[in-house]
Amino acid sequence: MPAGLHSPSPGDRELAPSAAAPIWRTRLDPRATVDIGLPEWFAVACKPHNGRGGACSAVIVRIPEASNAQIAHTLKVADKRRCRLPFRCDSRGQANAIAKWAKPGPRHRRVLLELASAGLWGPPT
């Protein structure tokens, strides 16, 4: 398994509505976060619908630090500039809420955290 990834445990993921749907995990690997003083840290990753692999701009949003107005503005900027859009959250509840509330814009979609963490945002450029 690539560095920075871990196998999700039942308390560490949001179960998909059907067996064919992906399992959306939000907890980052604690082995990668404990060294910076964060025993738990969560994320939701989004990319442009036509996003590709390789270098790309990103707009990172910290939850709960960002206000609703800042989040809405960030979504518009990310849509306009076709940026990747990772949300960094302090708790699982915040990550689950932002995944539901933010509903990535018309030009973005959610990416499995395992793929984003491994740098596999899309096909190589």
Return per-residue pLDDT of the chain as tens, 125 residues.
233 333 343 444 444 445 567 788 899 888 888 888 888 999 999 888 877 777 788 899 999 999 989 988 988 888 888 889 899 999 999 999 888 876 666 778 888 888 887 877 765 54
Q: What is the DSSP letter of 111?
A: E
Q: Write down the pLDDT at residue 54.
A: 75
Which sign does the torsion angle of CA 95, 98, 103, 109 carry? negative
Can you give the pTM of this predicted structure?
0.73
User: Whose structure tokens read 């442009």?
Assistant: 48
Q: What is the DSSP letter of 61?
A: E
Smallest Cα–Cα separation from 119: which of 47, 42, 66?
A: 47
**Which H or E element spans position 86?**
strand 85-89
CA atoms of 82 and 9, how far apart (whole Å): 33
46 phi and psi angles, rounded to 5 deg:
-130, 155
CA atoms of 91 and 72, how far apart (whole Å): 20
Q: Write down the pLDDT at residue 70.
A: 92
Q: Write down the pLDDT at residue 102.
A: 63
Cis peptide before 64 (omega within 30 of 0): yes
Q: Write down the pLDDT at residue 69.
A: 92
Q: Write down the pLDDT at residue 62.
A: 92
Q: Write down the pLDDT at residue 91.
A: 93
Q: Write down the pLDDT at residue 93.
A: 94
